[in-house]
Amino acid sequence: MNFKWLPNALTIARCVFAGLLLLGFWQALSLDPAEAGLSADDSAVRTTLQQLWYQFAFLAFLSGALTDFLDGWLARQLDAHSRFGVWLDPIADKLLIAAALICLSIQFRSWLIYIPAAMIIARDVFITWFRATPKGSAVIVPSNMAKWKTGFEMAAIIGMMLPLAIFAPDPQRLQGEEVSLAVLAIVFAVVGLLWVAAILSWQTAWQYMKAALRPKG
Q: What is the pLDDT of residues 24-65, one digit of tens each?
A: 999 999 887 766 567 777 778 888 899 999 999 999 999 999
Q: How far apart are CA 209 and CA 195, in angstroms?
A: 21
User: What's the chain's average pLDDT?
Assistant: 83
Question: 143 in a domain, yes or no?
Answer: yes
pLDDT at site 204: 86
Q: Is there a domain that residue 47 lies in?
A: yes
* CB 147, CB 141: distance < 8 Å: no
Asked whether residue 15 is assigned to any structural domain, the reply reads yes
pLDDT above 90: percentage of residues in the chain: 43
- Domain-located, residue 106: yes
Kindly indicate the confidence band of residue 216, based on its pLDDT and cuts at 50, 70 and 90. low
- Predicted local distance difference test score (pLDDT) of residue 169: 52
Report the domain count for the chain. 1
Determine the distance from the C-alpha atom of residue 76 to the mean position of all C-alpha atoms in its chain, rounded to a whole number: 24
- Has residue 23 been placed in a domain? yes
- Can you tell me the mean pLDDT for 123-143? 73
- The pTM of the full predicted model, rounded to 2 decimals, is 0.85
pLDDT at 17 over 90: yes
Domain of residue 91 covers: 6-213
Q: What is the 3-state secondary structure (H, E, C) of the chain?
A: CCCCCHHHHHHHHHHHHHHHHHHHHHHHHHCCCCCCCCCHHHHHHHHHHHHHHHHHHHHHHHHHHHHHHHHHHHHHHHCCCCHHHHHHHHHHHHHHHHHHHHHHHHHHCCHHHHHHHHHHHHHHHHHHHHHCCHHHHHHCCCCHHHHHHHHHHHHHHHHHHHHHHHCCCCCCCCCCCCCCHHHHHHHHHHHHHHHHHHHHHHHHHHHHHHHHHCCCC
- Residue range 94-123: average pLDDT? 94
Q: Give the highest mean pLDDT range of 3-7, 30-34, 124-128, 142-146.
A: 124-128
67: in domain: yes
Neighbours of 83 (CB within 10 A): 7
- What is the C-alpha separation between 146 and 4, in angstroms, rounded? 27
Indicate whether 78 belongs to any domain.
Answer: yes
Q: What is the CATH number of the domain that holds 150?
A: 1.20.120
1 in a structural domain: no
